[in-house]
Each structure stands twice: as structure tokens, then as C-alpha cells.
Structure 1
Amino acid sequence: MTSNTENLRVFGQSSGGTATFALLASPQCKGLVHKAWLLSASPVLNKTASEANVDNEVFLANANCSDIDCIYALSSAEVTYAVPWMTCICNVEAPFDAWANGHIIDVPLLIVWDIRSNCPNDVMSMYAASTFSSPVYRYVVTSKPSVPIHPVGIPFPARYAMHMWDVFAFFGFIPDYIKHPTDSEIQWQRNVQNEVLELVRTGKHFTSSWKPYPASTANLSEVTEAISAYNPVQCALWL
């Protein structure tokens, strides 16, 4: 996110991506968000508002708060310790339903999942592309670490295009996990940064052949390869 209120870019990874997905269907965010990047967001939000409110009672009890002023006064550490999971209720409709009903935060959108969960995000991209007037871009991470690494939340050394690999690249964290990154990994970092920052600046990508979904999907590694779709036959049953 940025402090420039005229060009507010929001992104979230994993549960943060799911929260960003929900924000794009929230009337409260109209005019507040101008571009969005969903990294590994879940396309399935099937908990009702009443069920989520019951969960949120745990947060209020842990924080010893009963009103909004108390919550605003919490420090970041107090919030962290009070929340056993992340729950955000900003709307009463499921995002796909809200989009279909015209309740859309219509901004340029970038959607990604690693290769393990490609098909459900094709569904999310298709819903967005069919309801947004702004461009929706889709990519799949095809880069992989040169040696097995043990990132946060993964209980075994990973040697594939795993959860958060593009986040590590964008923020330059790969040297924190691989002592001697290869030239390919350094170029992977640069490529992610170039593509995303160009979207932030212009609403389009650095690679001109990468067209909005469903015209193309990008295989993203040390280079950007625009393709028609990623494993379309395997994903056909989802669409």
C-alpha cells in the first residue's frame, strides 16, 4: 500500500490476498483503491457474516475491547497478539455475487497463484475479467529456487515455485534464503519488480505482449512469456 491517496495501490499475499479480494467488493472502499495485486488469494469465501462475527468475538475478548475507539488505540503488537487468525468483514455479499451485481471496486487487477493452485484462480480471473472494465492480468510463477529452501509456513524444504516465491523476489528477499543466488534468480527478482512497478505506474505491464485476461496469461520467471493459458485442459472442469 502507498501513502499517495490519489494512487492507492493495495496488495495482499495468501490470506492478505483473500482480504484484498474481499475489499474489491466492498462499497466502503469505493474511490479509495486504484490498483490491486492479489497473490495466492483464495477464490472461495463461504463463511457467512454472522459466522465471521462469532469468530471476531475472540479478537475482541483477547484485545479487551468493546468499541471501535479501543480497537483504534491498540498498538500493532497488541493487534498481533489478539488475533489468532485474520478475519475481515467489509461487505455482506460474497465477492463474486457482489461483482455480478455491479458492486465492484473497478481497478486494474493483477492475479497470481503458484503452479499448485492454478485452476481456481483462473475462475477468479474469469469472473473479474467479465465484470471489471479495468484490465485484469493473470500470471503463473514458473521460476523455482536453485536449491531447496525452507520458507515461512512450509514444513519441508521446497524446490518448486512455492507459495511466496514472487513476494521474496519483489522485495529482494531471495539472498536471505539462498546464500549465493544464481544469475537467473537475480534476474527473476528484477523481472517481477519491473512488471509490477510498471503496472503501478501505468496500469499496464512492462511486457507489451502480456495482454489482459483471458486473452493471455503470463509465465513469470527470469523472463515474461505471454501464453494463451496455463494448463487449460486440466482447468476446463473449473470453468
Structure 2
Amino acid sequence: MVLILLCVLALLPLASYLAYLAKTLPPSVTQVTTSCGTFRGRHINGGYSFKGMPYAAPPVGPLRKVLGQEDCLFINVWTPSLQPTARLSVMVWIHGGFLHMLSGGEPGYSPTEKLAVDTQIVYVSFNYRLNAFGFMALNMLREGSPSNTSGNYGFMDQIAALKWVQKNIQVFGGDPEKVTIFGQSSGGTSVWTMMMSPLAKGLFRAAVDMSGSYVYKATLEQAESDNLLFLQKTDCSDLSCLRRLPVTDVLKAIPWQEFPSWAADDLTDLPIKGHFVGPVAVVDGYVLEAPPFEVWEKKGNYNDVPFVIGTTEQEADFSPLAENISLWTWGDYRWFVTDKLQSFSETLPTKALELYPSSTPCPTTDRCPERSYTTMVSDIRVTCPNSDLAQRAAEALDSPVYRYLVTHTPSGPVNVSGDLLPFPSRFSFHCLDTVAFFGGLEAALGKPLSDGDRSFQELITRHLVTFAKTGKMADEWPEYPAATALLSDQLSTVQSYSSARCQLWKENGLFAYAWIN
């Protein structure tokens, strides 16, 4: 009987065969047809997920125009409905990782079927080219480029993914006119880039930048000059040689240690005067026509959409440079602050210690010097520069701008036996907001959530979902600069967070040391 059935199927046209398969899919499997083909997904927890769908032709073989063969241009969708008439709001996630690493499917750092069902939103994530394969700027790579540019290939991938969403998301129950982009760390930087790029005009209606960088100061010519060191280390003298390089040789040639280094090895510590990390993303004149603030000032061709800018109070606590920081005494704290800041001015350490004293209230009974130090580092590197970004955005955009700071202290330290974080962070660490939103906080802590943890997780989820569905926050969260929302187990607001501290860092030129990429 089986043999007869196989023979009959072999005689069917391909279309009929595929139709037969579709009708015989198990209950937990479903399929959709997009502009790039037909794909199977799974139906679980009341929701649907489709992973690893191509959204653009891979840069391999004849399409290999730049470094490497990065066959990574895949997109994922999680949705509570496959009815095209559902027209649900859509949130497109852009992962972080310093534009060097990670992916759109990291456990605890990406959407789930449960999140889609609970929030009734369609979620999208995707991979884009990273590291040298996605961002190496070299004059030699301009050859054959229709835009006469190089670098920022990863951003071009992001734009291609957003175009795919516009073309296909209705198949997954989403509304292409209700797309919000959100990203964390370099994903937040990517969100801001998409807002400023004329190539992304009209591809989304709202944006959320979580702990991104506001530094865009490298021109294409400067980056191409800096990256000549990479070219020298490859021993290549022409483009064909570069394109033939194995992946391992490309990675070996990246200037991880030599200045200007691609390695962000000190961005979670107080800055060293005159020491800057080399740029990965650049102002190339194509993806970014000019530095973002200049684009705003000149009323250029950017996306004027509702904008949320968020950071966490102890961003630097996720990977502090001093490995023994959790054991510091207050004496250690004062010594490190003085040692690091005295090169900027003789009086700066004293002023800093006055604004970040040992008497600052601490929510735990231990590791309090660590909290003060990582708060100071975070204010310099992330929090104060992003408040400046929010101020400039509020002045430039007609759309509403919102600012938040996560102040929640989790009920325990991060569980380092997991793969998500490398340090037993104790306070409001980098990506706490993201991990909570994606439902990964319990896994990150390695224990059941406390009532406070759960309230925080529900709070940030509720407000981000409200923003994605309506383009604005609830009435309890005013627009910036009228208020900054402080997010813990409850929402409170302040008119200006740590204005005296931020003014100190701005007056002494430390905004120039904000996180980059």
C-alpha cells in the first residue's frame, strides 16, 4: 500500500504535491507563503513562530561584493494570528552586541510565542552582517559600489529587513502601517540610525532606543584611513584578494588591540583622557548623509516619529573592568575614582566624589561601592549623553519624545552559569529592561522572581506595548523634557535626572567619551 501511494505521489505535479503536504502537516506545524517563498513554522502556546526565513539574497558567490561569505540574512517572526485581516501592531527587534556579535534569536534576548500571545503583537527579529563583514570601511571596497561608499553594510541589511516587513508582515497578521522598531545597545544605535537614514524613510512609525550610542563622529574618509591597518594585515593589494580571504583571516586582521582599536575593552570603566575606541559605524554619505545632529539642525530627510530613549542606572554593572569590584571597600572606590579622573583635572575627582558620595542610599546591604562606581561610569558613558540626545530630539522632532531610566534593583545577582551575562551583576545592569521585556529575567537571575521583579517586568512590558500600539505613552508618563520616567516596581517621574552630575561631566568634556557603536 505504501509503495502504491508513493508511486501516485510521484506522478502528481509539484504544486499538487506541495498542496498534499500542506494538508497533512501535523497540528503543531503550519506554513505561510512570503515574497521569498513558502516556509514552515510551529504552532505552540497559542502562537506561531517562523524562524530562519531569508529576507535578502545572501552575499555569496556572484553576489559576494564585500568581505567574507556571510550567509546570515535571515528573519524570524512570532505572531498570535495568521489572519491577514488581524492587522496587529508590529515590533521589529534589532539585537545588540557592539555591531560585532550576537543574533536575532538569543534565548532571553529575543521574542517568544508567549510574548506575542500575551501582548497581541507581531514580533520580528533578524540577523544582519556584523564585525568586519558588516562594517569594514575601505576605499578599495568602493569599487563596484553604486553609491561610491563602503562600510555600514549591516545597516543596509537592516533596511532590507524593514522593507521585507513592509511587503510580507500582513501574511503573519501584522499591519505594515503599525511598525515600531526597537533595539538595545548597538541595536539601539541601529534604531537611531534608521531614524536618521533617508533609505529607511517611511518603513516604520515609531522607535525605541534602549542604551544605544549617540556618538557618530567618524567620516567615511577617516574610517577608511584608520582601517588601512586592517588592509596591511591581510597582505592584500587588490579587491579580488580581499574577497577571497577566508573568514578566519578576516577576523585575524581586525585591529583589536592597535589604535584605533575595534575592541570596546574599557567602555564599562571611567575613561582615560585621550583614549577613544575606533568607530565601526560611520557617516558614509549614503546610509547616513551627515552626522545625525547636523541632519536634525538642517531639517534633513529623516523619520520624524514618536521616539523613546531608555537607559539603565548601572549600565556598566554588566561587565565592569575591575573583576574584584564586588569586593571593594569605600577606600578602594575613592582611590579608583581619583586615579582615573585626575588626568582630566586636579579638582575633578573631588567634585565627582562629592556628587557620588559613600552616603548615597544603597538598596542592598553589600556591594554598595560597586553601585556608586558603576553609576558614575554609566552617567558618563550612557545616561547623561542619552539625556542630551533626548533633549535634542525633543527640539528637532514634531513627534513626541519620551525618556526613561531603569532604577530597579533585582532581588538577586545575575546567575553567571547561564550564557546571557558574564558577570554576577547586582544592580540595574545593561539590558535589564530588554531581558525583562522578553520574559528572560527569571533565567538571568537563576531563581524565581520576587514580587518586585515581577512588577517591574509587567510595568516595562505594559508601557512599551502601549507605545507600540498607540505611538504614545500613558498619561502617567509625560513627554520629555517635562519628565524622565524612573522604572522600578512602580513608575515615578522626575523633571531632570541627575542634572548636577550630568552638568559636571559635560563641562569637563566627558560627553566625548560616551559609548560608541
Q: What TM-score, normalized to structure 2?
A: 0.40
SS across alignment from 2:188? helix
Match of 2:386 in 1: 121
User: Among 310, 314, 322, which residue is 1:112 paired with?
Assistant: 310
Q: Distance in 2 between matches of 1:62 and 1:13?
A: 35
Cα distance in 2 for residues equivalent to 1:213 and 1:20: 19
Contact kept? 1:113, 1:139, Cα under 8 Å: yes
Deviations 1:168-200 (A, max 9, x none): 111000111222111111111110110000011
Q: How far has the Cα of 1:49 moved from its partner? A: 2.3
Please state if 1:22 is matched with 2:188: no
Query: Deviation of residue 209 (structure 1)?
Result: 2.5
Q: Kindly provide the CA deviation profile for residues 185-226 of structure 1, in whole angstroms up to 9, marking residues without a partner as x.
A: 1111110110000011111213x1211110000001111112
**C-alpha distance in structure 1 between counterparts of 2:493 and 2:419, whole Å:** 30
1:182 maps to 2:450: yes
d(CA) in 1 for partners of 2:490, 2:398: 28
**Hey, what's the Cα distance between the residues in 2 that align with 1:53 and 1:219?**
41
Residue of structure 1 aligned with 2:463, choices 186, 191, 195: 195
2:462 is paired with a residue whose SS is helix
Q: Which residue of 1 aligns with 2:53?
A: none
Q: Tell me the CA shift for residue 63 of structure 1.
A: 9.8
Change (3 A) 1:52 1:21: farther
The verdict on how the C-alpha distance between 1:62 and 1:138 changes in structure 2, with shifts beyond 3 A counting, is farther
Give 1:112's aligned amino acid.
Answer: G
Which residue is 2:289 aligned to?
A: 92
**Amino acid in structure 1 at the alignment position of 2:214:** P
When the two structures are aligned, how many residues end up with a matched partner? 223
Aligned match of 2:183: 12
What does 1:122-201 correspond to in 2, within 5 Å? 122-149=387-414, 150=416, 155-178=422-445, 179-201=447-469
Equivalent position amino acid for 1:147 in 2:
G
Pick closer, same or farther for the CA change 1:152–1:94 going to 2, 3 Å: farther
Aligned twin of 2:472:
204
Tell whether the 8 Å contact from 2:201 to 2:303 is kept in structure 1 after alignment.
yes
Cα distance between partner residues in 2 of 1:26 and 1:137: 21
* Contact 1:49/1:92 (8 A) holds in 2: no
**Counterpart of 2:211?**
40
| CA RMSD across the alignment | 3.1
Task: Give the direction of change, closer, same or farther, for the CA distance of 1:180–1:36 in structure 2 (3 Å limit).
Answer: same
How far residue 147 of structure 1 moved from its aligned partner, in angstroms, is 1.1
Q: Return the match for 2:490 from 214, 223, 236.
A: 223
Task: Give a deviation string over 1:23-60, Cα, whole Å, max 9, x none.
Answer: 211111111121000010111112212345676x98x9
Are the equivalent residues in 2 in contact too, given 1:20–1:38 (CA < 8 A)? yes
Q: Is the 8 A contact 1:25 1:91 kept in 2?
A: yes
Once residues 62 and 174 of structure 1 are traced to their aligned partners in structure 2, the CA distance between those partners, rounded to angstroms, is: 46
Measured in 2, the distance between the counterparts of 1:106 and 1:165 equals: 28
Distance across 1 between alignment mates of 2:422 and 2:304: 37
- SS of the residue corresponding to residue 160 of structure 1 reads coil
Q: What TM-score do the two structures reach when normalised by structure 1?
A: 0.82
Conserved? CA contact 2:181–2:191, under 8 Å? yes
Distance 2:312 2:476 in 1: 21
Matches of 1:101 and 1:161 in 2, distance apart?
37
- 1:66-111 Cα shifts (integer Å, max 9, x gaps): xxxxxxxxxxxxxxx9xx8864751121111111111231000000
AA in 1 matched with 2:197: S
Bigger drift between 172-181 and 151-160 goes to 151-160
Alignment partners' CA distance in 1, 2:420 and 2:438: 18
Any conservation in 1 of the 2:216–2:281 contact (CA below 8 Å)?
Answer: no
Residue 164 of structure 1 deviates from its aligned partner by: 0.1
Contact 1:24–1:95 at 8 Å: present in 2 too?
A: no
Deviation at 1:233, TM superposition (A): 1.5
- SS of aligned partner of 1:6: strand
Cα distance change on mapping 1:231 and 1:102 into 2, 3 Å: same
CA distance in 2: counterparts of 1:228 and 1:155, whole angstroms:
34
Equivalent residue letter for 1:23:
M
- CA distance, structure 1, for counterparts of residue 224 and residue 419 of structure 2: 29
2:501 counterpart (215, 220, 234): 234
Give the aligned residue type for 1:99. Answer: W
CA–CA distance in 1 between the matches of 2:480 and 2:465? 19
Q: Return the index of the structure with the highest Cα Rg.
A: 2
Aligned-residue sequence identity (percent) comes to 33
Of structures 1 and 2, the one with the larger relative CO (CA 8 A, separation 6+) is 1
